[in-house]
Structure formats: structure tokens, C-alpha cells
């Protein structure tokens, strides 16, 4: 049974509507019959959400997303969902792409024999600021004679940290996570807070054993002062935090703050800070390949040994065992 989806992508608004200071960046997504739909859909969602989030801003950046294939028209994903694409020939003389994603999929073996697509990639390469292959997409770049020059982008790299290579400051990196790379572009243009909100909307973070405690700060039963202090603790959980600083955020004396926080949150500020750090550690273990020691340092816990002790106490397992249960396919770096 065929499923046909008409994917709507953003176009630049007419000049009469778009403020003069608005910048439009063109995002290309190269597809072929048998492409992997989830990766392409994620990229479209991120940039659509970014346009929605910033639609009321005067100025800033807006994204024009183009779905491309060799001949254009309707093409099928590996899951038999059809999307409508533009022909690569229609983009020979248009403005260059800020980022060009090369999507992978089971149909790559046929795409490698598509000379029109391969030739177009050779032309698009020098005119694109960033080229990002996803999965088997790197095979298409290799077929086009475009060398991999900037190393792999691991899950553990800081979002938005891109390696640039000479000449021309182009970026070539193998991207195993289309969500992370698309968010990196948004973060560069709109900041980490907008990118974080979009990331949570497109792919809500998985809950951990500590999520309910950490999210309690958003409850309507919690006063604004305690909510503000709890959010401040979350935002600064990766560094040394003092009770006095948190109390100042709540505009309370330290004694009153300790009493109110315990009464409203059900835990002391020190316990809350620990749960914030453990929640952060659980997410990094599940979502990245970072070594345990590095995760401990990033989460303000200090060392892998201390993190292991905390995991055994609160979860009854080691960080490595926790990672194995959440990401059985993860390989040690």
C-alpha cells in the first residue's frame, strides 16, 4: 500500500512581508529513491520549528529548505512514503547552500550509479559552505571524488562545534546524528536556548529516574522564588554551586531558603543539585559516547570514580552498566 506525503518546506517570504534585515539561509537535502525518511524528516522539522520560533523577530535568520533529487518529482523512501522533490538541475545557477545534507538509505547502491546526481554533487561542493553526509550519504561524496577531510563528528562533541578546513572554510564531516547537526546550525544563528527548545520539541529527552524530581520545579504549586532558584541550580549544575548563591536568586535568607525549598520541593537544595547532576549524567550516558570520566566532569561530579559510587548508591549499577541497558549498541570510544 503506497503512502504519499507532500512534505511542505519553507520558502522565503515575499519582500513586502519579510523585514529587510531578515537573512535567509538555504538548506539543501539531497535524496534518492530508497532514502532513509527519519533523518530527512528530522532535518525538515528542526528548520521548520526554527522558523516558527523566530517568526515574530525583526531580523535574524530564516531557513529555506529544499528537497532535491536527480530528476525531481515524486521519489520513494525506504519505508514506501513518497515525497515531492525539486530537480538538482533547477539549482545549477541559484544561490549556494549554507548547508547541504546528503541523506543515506538502502537505495544508495542505485544512487551511486546516477551520474546526474554525482555530477551535481561535484558542482555543489565548492558552492556550499557546509556539506553533511548522513550514514550512507558519505558514499555519494566518495563517488563524486569529494574527500572526507574533517574527521567524524561523534555524539560526544559539543553541539555546534564544527571543524573548518581550507581552502574556502568549507565543512566536511560525517554526521551520524542529523538532529544534532541541524540544531548546530540553529544554535549558531539563534543561540543555545532556542536550539535546546527546538531539540526538546523535535525529540523530547528520555526520562530518567531523576526526571520527575527535576521537573517538579515547573509545578504550579511551587512559588516563583523557589522555581527561579531551582532553575538556576539546573543551569549551573555543571559547576560549583553554593547555597548562599541559590538563596540570593530566591531573594531569601539562607535559613528561610533552606526551609522553603525543602517544604516545596520535597528535597534539600543539595539533594536537588545532586539529582540534577545525576539526571544530566544519565542522559549523557544514554545519548553520547563520552567516557565516564568526561561525563562526570561535565556534570560537576568531578571524577568517574565518584560518579560510579553515586550510581551504585542511587541506581544499583555502574555508569557503564547503565549505558549498556540504555544503549546496547554503543561502542566504547
Query: What is the rounded distance in angstroms from the CA atom of residue 121 to the CA atom of residue 143?
Result: 9
Instruction: Tell the residue number behind the cell numbers 559510587, with chain if given.
Output: 309
Can you give the three-state secondary structure of 107-118, one letter per residue?
A: CHHHHCCCHHHH
Among 52-61, 152-161, 203-212, 274-283, where is mean pLDDT lowest?
Answer: 152-161
Alpha helix (H) residue ranges in 125-223: 137-143, 178-190, 192-202, 211-215
Work out the pLDDT band at 160, boundaries 50, 70, 90. Answer: very low
**CATH code 3.40.50.880 region(s) in the chain:** 3-202
- Which CATH number describes the domain made up of 3-202? 3.40.50.880
pLDDT (tens digit per residue) in 224-251: 889 889 888 988 888 888 889 999 999 9
Domain limits, CATH 1.10.10.60, in the chain: 211-326
Query: For residue 86, what are the β-bridge partners?
Result: 68
How confident is the model over 28-61, as pLDDT tens digits? 999 999 998 888 999 999 999 999 888 777 778 8
Residue 297, CB half-sphere, CA atoms under 13 Å: how many?
4
The CATH superfamily holding the domain 211-326 is Homeodomain-like (1.10.10.60)
This prediction's pTM: 0.56
SS3 54: coil
pLDDT at 150: 41
Contact in structure between 105 and 34 (CB atoms under 8 Å) = yes
Amino acid at each position: 500500500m503506497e503512502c504519499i506525503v507532500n512534505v511542505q518546506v519553507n520558502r522565503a517570504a515575499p519582500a513586502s512581508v519579510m523585514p529587510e534585515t531578515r537573512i535567509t539561509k538555504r538548506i539543501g537535502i539531497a535524496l534518492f529513491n530508497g532514502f532513509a525518511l527519519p533523518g530527512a524528516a528530522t532535518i525538515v522539522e528542526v528548520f521548520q520549528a526554527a522558523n516558527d520560533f523566530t517568526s515574530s523577530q525583526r531580523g535574524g535568520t530564516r531557513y529555506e529548505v529544499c528537497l532535491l533529487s536527480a530528476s525531481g518529482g515524486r521519489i520513494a523512501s525506504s519505508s514506501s512514503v513518497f515525497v515531492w522533490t525539486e530537480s538538482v538541475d533547477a539549482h545549477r545557477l541559484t544561490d549556494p547552500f549554507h548547508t547541504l545534507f546528503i541523506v543515506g538509505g538502502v537505495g544508495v547502491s542505485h544512487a551511486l550509479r546516477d551520474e546526474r546526481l554525482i555530477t551535481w554533487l561535484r558542482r555543489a561542493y565548492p558552492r556550499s559552505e557546509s556539506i553533511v553526509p548522513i550514514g550512507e550519504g558519505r558514499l555519494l561524496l566518495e563517488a563524486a571524488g569529494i574527500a572526507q577531510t574533517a574527521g567524524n563528528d561523534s555524539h560526544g562533541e559539543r553541539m555546534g562545534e564544527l571543524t573548518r578546513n581550507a581552502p574556502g572554510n568549507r565543512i566536511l564531516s560525517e554526521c551520524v546524528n542529523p538532529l544534532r547537526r541541524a540544531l548546530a546550525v540553529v544554535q549558531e544563528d539563534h543561540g543555545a536556548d532556542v536550539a535546546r527548545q527546538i531539540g526538546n520539541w523535535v525529540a523530547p529527552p528520555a526520562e530518567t529516574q531523576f526526571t520527575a524530581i527535576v521537573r517538579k520545579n515547573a509545578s504550579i504549586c511551587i512559588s516563583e522564588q523557589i522555581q527561579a532558584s531551582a532553575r538556576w541550580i539546573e543551569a549551573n549544575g555543571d559547576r560549583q554551586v553554593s547555597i548562599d548563591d541559590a538563596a540570593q536568586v530566591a531573594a531569601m535568607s539562607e535559613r528561610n531558603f533552606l526551609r522553603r525549598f525543602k517544604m516545596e520541593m520535597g528535597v534539600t537544595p543539595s539533594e536537588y543539585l545532586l539529582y540534577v547532576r545525576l539526571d544530566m549524567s544519565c542522559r549523557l550516558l544514554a545519548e553520547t559516547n563520552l567516557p565516564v570520566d568526561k561525563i562526570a566532569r561535565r556534570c560537576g561530579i568531578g571524577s568517574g570514580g565518584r560518579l560510579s559510587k553515586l550510581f551504585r548508591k542511587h541506581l544499583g549499577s555502574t555508569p557503564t552498566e547503565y549505558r549498556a541497558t540504555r544503549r546496547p549498541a554503543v561502542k566504547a570510544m
